Amino acid sequence: MGVHNLWSYFMQNVTETVAYFDLIELAKSYPEKMNILIDFFSFEHFLVEKFLARLGKADIDSLIYAGGEYKLMDRTLRCLILELRRVNIEPIFYLDGAKGSADISTKQKMQRWKNKYVESQKCLQNVFFYLRGERPLTDVNLSRLTRPCLQEMQHVLTLKELNCKVVSRVSGEADYMIAKDLMENQNAFCVLSNDTDFTIFPDSVLLPQDMFDISFQLGQGLSSFEPRVPENLICGIIRTENVMNLLKLPDHRSLIEVAIIGGNDFTMPILSKHSTFMHHYKGNFKYLSSLINQSGSIEKCDFFGELMVNDENFRNAVQHSRQFYSLSLPDEEEPEKGYSFNVIADNIRLGKFPSAIMSMHRGIYWHRQILEDPGPEMPVAEIVLAQLRAYIYKILLPHDKSYAVETGRIVCKLLTDVKVFKATDDRIPSLAEVIKNTFSSNLRLFELIIQHQEFNKFKWESYFNQFGIQLGFIGRLLRYFLCLNWNQNLYISPEEFYVLVAWILAEHDTFHYYKLQMKPSPRWESYFNQFGIQLGFIGRLLRYFLCLNWNQNLYISPEEFYVLVAWILAEHDTFHYYKLQMKPSPRCMTMASWFQALYRNAYAFLGNILDVSHEFPSPRDLFSFSTWVALYTSCFLTHLNPTFRLPCPPHVSIEEMLARLVVVETVQKYKNFVTRIIDGFFFFDIRILQEDRKVDL
């Protein structure tokens, strides 16, 4: 991010570039709280380092964290924010727009995004080589691990609960907005980021992540999650004027010119294609500075001047960069006309929508990378979940667009583009109608969409030809009634339909039933009506996951489903399981990642669009990867199917975990709930969890 190789140049000249301050002493001089403007995604890396430094030092901790420890993440973030507030420092967070949310940046950075995606996929392959016991963990580049699937969601929810200011870009990156706010906000001291662009903007002050809290005083309370007042907060900062002095440049305009020909995010994709630049100019900032000092502008430099004349793309990138660094760039959010665009943009600014929804509205979606088995012929979660997003596209896409282009991994290919056509179901309204709906109407719509797998319209031959006139007539009435009331109107259930069939087709002793004088029972209600909103949401996700993976995709077993139920519904000692440092099997990790990916699509996208997610449980309330690993391993340590159990963690005993008992007790406690979910798939029977299998490991 920023100017390529500039950070390395700074580190070679630390004494001339970096100034050190105690932020606690500095904050005392501010009548109000001193603001640090924080690049949200850069801060997430800082949080991970703090978390791992305080709560664990083993390599396996990084892998467990990447699987998703959201309750511990929440406590870590709360602790750090409260410690900053106790020393008169108030952070302000800035979120970039999602990939594809802005037309300009999408065109400029598409190739860079694709390159990074492929690199991450290669790291994913190494993770599963390790999990299968084929390579040591030292072969895995832990710094390149993908972020936990729901990390951003949980962090934003936590920041909102703490009443932190969170500024969300509708589209494009937040750098420009941060740089302007640093100049205009009198209480703002610096920008916490790893982006060297913040050493080029006028009057900028960059606090690099690696130089934040050099003495490791922040986060002393993380071991107990009780905030403590740090004794000091020593940080190194880099000012724009120090960079100009280091490069011996006469003015800010000259610094901008050097940054551009040094290769920034806009010019580097073009310059890197020229061997002359790569061999003679790349990273040579002393020489680049002398060129600008001698010539005065890029146009008058030998190599770069010729490139300005002959390459229109480079010329446009230079002009864009000049406006960008001088803070005179037109707003990248590219205001559009249209009701849907304005609704989405307003909700992103209010923090109600993730900016990925704007990308979806534009017909672009980048698959979320998760820790799933990338082996040959293994299914890909985001590809499988595209059928759910098709309904989201039905709501979001303009009328003149019939599909979205999704970019990501497919089976046996690291990166490709896939067209996903929006659903053709006429019952799904437009965004304009959704906004006008009541909460209860949108909750019913959520339940309708989340059940889409369970009702497919098959084309059959004529009922009259197939069953005869009388039975064909009855069949057509039953079919019409089912279409009329499935996921709408009466919301008929499969059980009710079976009763209807028996009522019409069986021969009955009518007088016998008449004498019973039975009182009609109420209909079986929707999950939300029957179990409440939070448990109903969990039930719908579990049912969806079962439909998605029963006899297809992951081929989930009843035992695995019971473990999933216990993971979500039981109260766990998360920290106890985290300390076990257990190694998951590939299948164990894949299944947890898939369920989180489903949650993300249902909560962050569908639920937020319908404005019902605020009633649903957050990631920290449901997911702890270390807990999942313990529960799963305890139930499958001696399973007959080796893909469920291998490789086994030799240093943790079943007696130590006592986790299988948690699964049995939880499933038994929620028997009625579980029975409703598994209806039509398998019969409720927890004896399979209590069997002792004798298997040579």
Assigned domain for 57 exists: yes
CB 534 within 8 A of CB 617: yes
Selection from 578, 656, 630 nearest residue 56 by Cα: 578
Q: Predicted confidence band at 364 (pLDDT cuts at 50, 70, 90)? A: very high
DSSP assigned state of 354: -
| CA 582 centroid distance within chain | 24
Mean pLDDT of all residues in 453-481: 70
pLDDT at res. 641: 63
Selection from 327, 415, 332 nearest residue 367 by Cα: 415
pLDDT at res. 533: 96
Quote the CA–CA distance of 286 and 291 in Å, as a whole number: 9
Percent pLDDT > 70 in the chain is 90
Q: Is 513 helix (H, G, I), strand (E, B) or coil?
A: helix
**605 and 473, same domain (yes or no):** no
Is 50 exceeded by the pLDDT of residue 46? yes
| Spatial strand order in the sheet of 205-207 | 18-22, 234-239, 205-207, 188-192, 34-39, 89-95, 165-168
Q: Predicted confidence band at 657 (pLDDT cuts at 50, 70, 90)? A: low
**221 and 305, same domain (yes or no):** no
What tokens appear for 246 in the block? Answer: 């280091």
Region of poorest pLDDT, from 102-106, 447-451, 478-482: 102-106
Final residue of a domain: which of 525, 546, 578? 525
Question: What digits encode the pLDDT tens for the residues 173-215?
Answer: 899 999 999 999 999 999 999 999 999 999 999 999 989 999 8
Residue ranges in 374-414 assigned as alpha helix (H): 381-384, 386-396
**10 and 71, same domain (yes or no):** yes
Other CB atoms closer than 10 Å to residue 300's CB: what's the count?
Answer: 13
Main-chain dihedrals φ then ψ at residue 585, nearest 5 degrees: -80, 160
pTM exceeds 0.95: no
**206 and 86, same domain (yes or no):** yes
Is 80 exceeded by the pLDDT of residue 566? yes
**503 and 585, same domain (yes or no):** no
Domain count, the chain: 4
Assigned domain for 621 exists: yes
Is 80 exceeded by the pLDDT of residue 312? yes
Assigned domain for 140 exists: no
Mean pLDDT of all residues in 407-428: 93
For 176, 180, 189, 251, 413, the CA distances from 518, given in Å and listed in that order, are 71, 73, 75, 91, 61
pLDDT at res. 524: 46
Q: Which residues have C-beta within 8 Å of that of residue 692, sequence separation ≥ 6?
A: 638
Assigned domain for 464 exists: yes
Question: What digits encode the pLDDT tens for the residues 78-122?
Answer: 999 999 999 999 999 999 999 888 877 777 778 888 888 998 888
Most confident of 53-57, 322-326, 657-661: 322-326
Q: 647 preceded by cis ω (within 30°)?
A: yes
Extended beta strands in 292-378, E state: 364-366
Residue 252 or residue 691, greater confidence: 252
Assigned domain for 119 exists: no
- Per the structure, the complete domain to which residue 558 belongs is given by 529-690
Mean pLDDT of all residues in 356-367: 96
Mean pLDDT of all residues in 15-25: 96
Question: What digits encode the pLDDT tens for the residues 212-256?
Answer: 999 888 877 677 778 889 999 999 999 999 999 999 999 999 999
In the block, residue with structure tokens 């798939």: 681
Q: Is the Cα torsion angle 559, 561, 562, 563 positive or negative in sign? A: positive
Final residue of a domain: which of 227, 246, 265? 246
Quote the CA–CA distance of 395 and 414 in Å, as a whole number: 29
State the angle between helix axes of 252-263 and 312-325 in degrees (0 to 180), rounded to the nearest 10: 140
Selection from 677, 409, 379 nearest residue 554 by Cα: 379
**275 and 203, same domain (yes or no):** no
Quote the CA–CA distance of 460 and 275 in Å, as a whole number: 64
Mean pLDDT of all residues in 299-313: 92
Assigned domain for 443 exists: no
Final residue of a domain: which of 246, 273, 298? 246
Q: Which residues have C-beta within 8 Å of that of residue 693, sequence separation ≥ 6?
A: 638, 639, 640
pLDDT at res. 163: 97
Residue 401 or residue 106, greater confidence: 401
Assigned domain for 375 exists: no
**602 and 655, same domain (yes or no):** yes
**552 and 682, same domain (yes or no):** yes
**503 and 623, same domain (yes or no):** no
User: Residue 327: which region, alpha, beta or left (left: phi > 0; alpha: psi -120 to 50)?
Assistant: left
Is 90 exceeded by the pLDDT of residue 649? no
Main-chain dihedrals φ then ψ at residue 400, nearest 5 degrees: -85, 5
Q: Is 461 helix (H, G, I), strand (E, B) or coil?
A: coil
**257 and 312, same domain (yes or no):** yes
Assigned domain for 147 exists: no
Is 90 exceeded by the pLDDT of residue 20? yes
Q: Predicted confidence band at 336 (pLDDT cuts at 50, 70, 90)? A: low
**293 and 187, same domain (yes or no):** no
Mean pLDDT of all residues in 336-361: 92
Region of poorest pLDDT, from 457-461, 471-475, 539-543: 457-461
Quote the CA–CA distance of 531 and 447 in Å, as a whole number: 13
Mean pLDDT of the chain: 88
Quote the CA–CA distance of 418 and 386 in Å, as a whole number: 10
Question: What digits encode the pLDDT tens for the residues 670-684?
Answer: 999 999 999 889 999
Other CB atoms closer than 10 Å to residue 528's CB: what's the count?
Answer: 21
Q: Predicted confidence band at 53 (pLDDT cuts at 50, 70, 90)? A: confident
**218 and 293, same domain (yes or no):** no
Is 60 exceeded by the pLDDT of residue 522? no
Region of poorest pLDDT, from 4-13, 47-56, 251-260: 47-56
Q: Predicted confidence band at 135 (pLDDT cuts at 50, 70, 90)? A: confident
pLDDT at res. 518: 54
Region of poorest pLDDT, from 446-455, 503-512, 601-610: 503-512
Is 70 exceeded by the pLDDT of residue 514? no
Main-chain dihedrals φ then ψ at residue 27, nearest 5 degrees: -65, -25
Burial status of residue 13 (CB atoms within 10 A of its CB: 0-12, 13-18, 19 or more):
middle
For 189, 198, 201, 399, 661, the CA distances from 327, given in Å and listed in that order, are 18, 12, 8, 36, 61
Quote the CA–CA distance of 377 and 374 in Å, as a whole number: 8
